[in-house]
Amino acid sequence: MPSLEIPEMPEGLCELAQQEWKAMVPQLETMGMISRIDGKALAAYCQTYARWIQAEDEVQRLGIMIEEHVVIAGEEIGSNYKRNPAIGISNEALKLMKSFLIEFGMTPASRSRIRIDKPKEDEDPFDMFLRRGSSTNEKLVN
C-alpha cells in the first residue's frame, strides 16, 4: 500500500474544484486514505464536484423547465418548454462523484468495508512476558 502522503494540487482546477480539494485533503488524511498517487483521482472528483455545483446553480437560475423559442425564417412563431439541460449535467456529475466518493471511502457503506493497516508498533517486552507467563500458567493448571 502506498505511504500516506498528500499529493500536490494540479494546475488547471477551477476555483470551486480548488476549494473542494482543500476541504477534502484534510479529511482523507485523517482517515489515512490519501497518497501521492491519488492526486489525479482526487482532482477528477474535485472538478466533477465543481461541475455539479455549476449545473445546480443553472437549474436554480433558470428553473427545471426552460423556454425554447421556435423561429422559422427569422420570425418567432411560438415557443416550447423543455427540461433544462443542466439537470442532465447535474445528474451525470452526481453519479461520477458517487463513484469517486466510494473509491475514497467517503460514503457510509464504503467506509464500513475499508480496512486500513496501521503500522505495527514495537511490542512492549513486559506485555510479551505477561502473555508468555499466562500460557505457561494455563499449562500448569491443566
Q: What is the pLDDT of residues 63-99, one digit of tens each?
A: 999 999 999 999 999 999 999 999 999 999 999 999 9
Nearest 5 degrees, angle CA 78-CA 84-CA 85? 115
How large a percentage of the chain has pLDDT more than 90?
64
State residue 114's pLDDT score.
Answer: 65
d(CA 116, CA 136): 34
State residue 61's pLDDT score.
Answer: 97
Q: Provide the 8-state DSSP code for 70.
A: E
Range scoring the smallest mean pLDDT among 10-14, 22-26, 94-98, 135-139: 135-139
Give the whole-angstrom CA distance, residue 41 versus residue 103. Answer: 9
Better-predicted residue by pLDDT, 142 or 20: 20
Q: H helices within the chain, ranges in order?
A: 15-31, 39-62, 85-103, 108-113, 125-141
Quick one: pLDDT at residue 7? Answer: 93
Question: For cell 423547465, what's the residue?
Answer: 65
**pLDDT attached to residue 109:** 84
Residue 83: the pLDDT is 97
Residue spans of the domains in the chain: they are 15-116
